[in-house]
Amino acid sequence: MLKTNVDKVVEMYLECTPGQPRVGAGWKVDHQGSPFLLPSIGGITLNVQVGDPAFGLAGDHIEPGVSCTANAAKPNDFPNNSLQILSCVGNEAKIVSGEAKGETGIVIGHHGGSEHIIVEFERSVKEQMTYDDKILIRAKGQGLGLIDYPEIKLFNLDPDLLQAMGIIPGDTGTLKVPVTTKVPASCMGSGVGRAHVGAGDYDVMTSDPATVKKHNLDQMRFGDFVALMDHDNSYGRAFVQGAVSIGILVHSDCRLAGHGPGISTLMTCPTSLIKPIINPKANIADLLKIGTGTETE
């Protein structure tokens, strides 16, 4: 077991509601110049769940599960900014009103721009929900640190999920982290340069077919743990040769220039102390038996 400061990490409740789908008026234009009109961010998405392919949907920036907000009118202000920063991947979410009262789900990430957190609930639960339902997030994880690996920083990560990820010590002070995919630095697009990584995500650009094929980017699934090579997220999202960041895939492929599947940050190091190990099952659905992970029980 990895030694952490979990006994010092603060735990608190945060309240939110499902966020309505957000679709702008008129057509959008993809990176090849073709107009499109499709479902996009937000909503109680009934037929998309964690573990599903992030490619091939008739949609753009699709968020699986239930997209949640604490302030839809002012997404960057209180209390939604607190919800974004303090909610962590792996946190429990409990519905406390409506027909689905008492049902629980799991936070799977944050999406910048929409400023949603994304929560996985079973489809039978989602079919009982409305946009007036209240959800309590049992927030715990921001401030979590690795005692024996101080150069490796953690963000947005529930302490129990960290221990479940199958991370093992390597040689010379390294950590071996299972991931489904290694993403080259040249593919990181929208969100690069954002000053802090305690909320939101940034996108893997998928506009070059040869690169997508070479790195199997189109095989990624919602909830995959992925390695962003030569990217340091310690104090913002930046290219740093030799750095490695680990994130989780939170929204679907996108048609806009500079966009693609979104990655929320979980771990980062400015040097090569994180060693990504390819494992096709390195997905939160498989680890926690949620989404498609329940189908393999």
**CATH number reported for the structural domain that contains residue 34 in this entry:** 2.40.10.170
Mark whether 186 and 111 lie in a shared domain: no
User: For residue 26, is pLDDT > 90?
Assistant: no
pLDDT tens for 141-165 read: 999 999 999 999 999 999 999 999 9
pLDDT of residue 288: 97
pLDDT tens for 72-81 read: 999 999 999 9
Does 79 sit behind a cis peptide bond, omega within 30 degrees of 0 on the bond before it? yes
pLDDT tens for 182-214 read: 999 999 999 999 888 999 999 999 999 999 999
Query: Closest by alpha carbon to 178, among 244, 243, 232, 227?
Result: 227
Mark whether 77 and 34 lie in a shared domain: yes
pLDDT tens for 113-131 read: 899 999 999 999 999 999 9
Whether residue 297 lies inside any domain: the answer is no
Mark whether 264 and 180 lie in a shared domain: yes
Mark whether 59 and 80 lie in a shared domain: yes
Mark whether 105 and 206 lie in a shared domain: no
Q: Which structural domain, as residue segments, surrounds residue 64?
A: 9-140
Q: How far apart are CA 222 and CA 201, in angstroms?
A: 13
**CATH number reported for the structural domain that contains residue 176 in this entry:** 2.102.30.10
Whether residue 98 lies inside any domain: the answer is yes
The dihedral of CA 139, 102, 124, 21: what is its sign? negative
Mark whether 180 and 280 lie in a shared domain: yes
Mark whether 263 and 180 lie in a shared domain: yes
Whether residue 237 lies inside any domain: the answer is yes
User: For residue 297, is pLDDT > 80?
Assistant: no
Whether residue 200 lies inside any domain: the answer is yes
- Mean pLDDT for the stretch of residues 84-88: 97
Mark whether 157 and 283 lie in a shared domain: yes
Whether residue 267 lies inside any domain: the answer is yes
Q: Pick the residue with more confidence: 61 or 295?
A: 61
Give me the amino acid identity at 16. Answer: C
User: For residue 140, is pLDDT > 90?
Assistant: yes
pLDDT of residue 195: 84
Whether residue 296 lies inside any domain: the answer is no
Mark whether 169 and 90 lie in a shared domain: no
Tell which of 140, 171, 190 closes a domain.
140
Task: Report the number of distinct structural domains present in the chain.
Answer: 2
pLDDT of residue 102: 98
Mark whether 82 and 171 lie in a shared domain: no
Mark whether 159 and 120 lie in a shared domain: no
Mark whether 162 and 46 lie in a shared domain: no
pLDDT category at 171 given cuts 50, 70, 90 is confident
| Average pLDDT over all residues of the chain | 96
Q: How are beta strands 181-183 and 225-232 bridged, if at all? A: parallel
pLDDT tens for 247-267 read: 999 999 999 999 999 999 999
Tell which of 80, 112, 140 closes a domain.
140
pLDDT of residue 296: 61
Whether residue 3 lies inside any domain: the answer is no
Tell which of 116, 140, 164 closes a domain.
140
Q: What percent of the chain has pLDDT over 70?
A: 99
Whether residue 176 lies inside any domain: the answer is yes
18 with 41: CB under 8 angstroms? no
What are the residues whose beta carbons fall under 8 Å from the beta carbon of 87, sequence distance 6 or more? 14, 107, 110, 117, 137, 139, 156
